[in-house]
Amino acid sequence: MTEATDRAALAATALAVLAVDPGGLGGLWLRARASALREALLGGLPAIGLPLRRISPAIVGTSLEGTPDLVALLAGRGLRPVAGVLDGPALLVLPMAERTPPATAARLAQALDAGRGLCLVALDEGIGPEERLPPALAERLGLVVDLDGIAATALPPPDPARIATARARLPQVATPVELCTATVAAAAALGIDSLRPPQQTLRAARALAALADRATVTADDLALAGALVLAARATRFPDAAPPAEADAPPPGEPAQAPEPGGGRMADAVLAAARAALPADALDRLGAGRGGRGAGGAGSGAARRGNRRGRPLPSRPGAPGSGARLDLVATLAAAAPWQRLRKGEGAAPLPLALRRQDFRLRRFEDRSDRLLIFVVDASGSAAVARLAEAKGAVEILLAAAYARRDHVALIAFRGAGADILLPPTRSLVQARRRLADLPGGGGTPLASGLVAARGLAQRARAQGMTPTLILLTDGRPNVRLDGTGARAAAQDEAMRLAATIRADGTDALVVDAGLRPHPWLATLGAAMGGRTLPLPRAEARGLSAAVAAALDG
């Protein structure tokens, strides 16, 4: 069987397991962009037997948790609640789940924990390890399937009769103690430090046993459950090694008997987890599989207002100074008090409002972010540094469209600095501009910082959020006027660093020297940013380190 066939079959098994125990497993984390195979999997969701509801990552709190029926209230029919998405059992399908804000993810996670009969299928369409499902949801969705890049177009449909029989048998399925021990050991060996995945693995194993019409979980059930639950959550894979010999017991004490089959079962779970992952998955372990922050790498500063952007929960306040009234939220806040207020005296209107009922609309918009690379092109190592900076710029630009990143490149050498790449999101333009990069000469760091500061000020005036990334391996020795004087050049660089900090520009200093230089750490602190020692930085490692540092 090919890898595509294996993963498609694993997806079909995951769907059947979820249909047997939707409330216990919480849901399915499906890593896949739009494809025929994903649509085939979603087409089998009715077999779970819950009302199907599609929700958006931008869904607001009132839609999730319900609100009073304002139409009935205004018509004089009394206070009647309108059910929200989270009221009652349902199968929720969440497209673009990697874009779910933390507040919405927390509400969904709380509803899953409350045991309301909810089940969530999160469609994670993120690109790369930096775009992941929020950790609050990734923790609670027991099953994980990765169909990215699979060309299959069909899945075997779930058998309703088989699923109904398995549901009836599920409460009677037993799990041997040694299998519980093996599950915990396998999770620890994979670097999983949460207790939820082992519990979810055992639930999935019981569902697999019920599907096979067995009364007891077997080692094969546990291995397959580990592939569905533990594999994608692993942060490391232990190398296969022979078991260490047990130490001899002290004189006079009996030797402890090994747990029968526990070690072999844990090894079987590890082997199944390894086989369940795509060929390149081991390279991505520990690269943020658990979740992407709501802002995401590359998102600019959050700007809150009341005109446009992503809706936020309304807040109390009086309209004025451009603030807009949220009529629905205002009426919803006043509705529970109507009976009490009508008793205070005759109300001239069908609805009695008070000042404390007013709610104002709020939105959040994120500005584009400009990453300004300031690269030291001086000295003998200039060619290598510029080549790696060029590669990092191209890698970051490849993901710029989804993350609202613009990238610019400034090189300083000789007596000054040059803007080699103006702010752009065009990968084609970047490759054309970066084809021939000069190098060699002195180190006019102050000139590079002046050019970067001017670029950052222009970007901020256009509504962007600039971030400065300085890549160098030594100290400056050329002043702003082009003359050589190391001490004066260092003083100028420090003064400019303080000015950049006062501007409020985020900064990151990448020390590319073979040994970290204390002066560069001081320069980074003067800019109010971090200093990242990265000797022998290659392009992919540089781009990953920059993204991780900016996220952190």
Q: Give the HSE-up count for residue 314: Cα atoms under 13 Å, Cβ half-sphere.
A: 22
Q: Are residues 349 and 444 in the same domain?
A: no
Q: Are residues 184 and 307 in the same domain?
A: no
Coil, strand or helix at 408: strand
Are residues 121 and 45 in contact, defined by beta-carbon separation less than 8 angstroms? Answer: yes
Q: Are residues 335 and 433 in the same domain?
A: no
Residue with tokens 């069908």: 350
β-strand partners of 94: 122
Q: Are residues 155 and 11 in the same domain?
A: yes
β-strand partners of 410: 374, 419
Q: Are residues 229 and 149 in the same domain?
A: yes
Pairing of strands 118-124, 27-31: parallel
Return the biggest CA–CA distance within the chain: 93
pLDDT band at 449 (very low <50, low <70, confident <90, very high): very high
Range of 538's domain? 369-551
Compute the distance between CA of residue 197 and CA of residue 209 in angstroms, rounded to an integer: 18
Out of 51-60, 151-160, 380-389, the most confident range is: 51-60
**Angle (nearest 5°) at CA 218 between 169 and 220:** 115
Helix (DSSP H) and strand (DSSP E) numbers for the chain: 21, 16
Asked whether residue 532 is domain-assigned, the answer is yes
Q: pLDDT digit string (tens) for 232-253?
A: 888 776 654 444 444 445 555 5
Q: Are residues 402 and 464 in the same domain?
A: yes
pLDDT band at 83 (very low <50, low <70, confident <90, very high): low
CATH code, 46: 3.40.50.300
Q: Which two structure tokens, joined as six digits, stand for 541? A: 């490692």
User: Would you say residue 388 has pLDDT above 50?
Assistant: yes
User: Would you say residue 143 has pLDDT above 50?
Assistant: yes
Are residues 314 and 362 in contact, defined by beta-carbon separation less than 8 angstroms? Answer: yes
Residue 291 vs residues 26, 94, 98, 100, 285: alpha-carbon distances, Å? 17, 15, 8, 11, 13
Lowest mean pLDDT among 61-65, 329-333, 392-396, 433-437: 433-437
Are residues 23 and 109 in contact, defined by beta-carbon separation less than 8 angstroms? Answer: no
